[in-house]
Amino acid sequence: MEELKAHTYKWYEFGCKDASYLKTKEDYANLSFSEKFLLKFHLATCKYCRRFVKQVNKIDSLLRAVAEPNKLTISPKKKLAINQLITENLTKK
């Protein structure tokens, strides 16, 4: 099997595609010092990539909340209201 080679980035060729790739890679693997630097530098200068990073972070946090349902809590009042709605809808049929 062919071994994966590390990609070397040049600061003047680093664009939004590279930034989005590194942001995604950052979630699954450690970035090298130069990759971290280039990503931070690009994010400091590109509002679109900053927005992308915010969106990715929001999606990640929502997925973690769904994956860990024990952390989600519903107040007793809301539970009672939901149970009443379910009971009302079941009795209508």
Query: What are the tens digits of pLDDT across the range 79-89?
Result: 888 888 888 87
pLDDT at 46: 93
pLDDT at 92: 67
pLDDT at 55: 93
DSSP conformational letter for 36:
H
In this structure, the number of other CB atoms found within 10 A of the CB of residue 18 comes to 18
d(CA 90, CA 93): 6
8 A C-beta contact, residue 11 and residue 38: yes
pTM: 0.59
Query: What are the tens digits of pLDDT across the range 17-73?
Result: 988 988 988 888 888 898 899 899 999 999 999 999 999 999 988 888 777 766 667
Query: What are the tens digits of pLDDT across the range 58-81?
Result: 998 888 877 776 666 778 888 888
Residue with tokens 């900053």: 50
Domain range annotation of the chain: 16-92
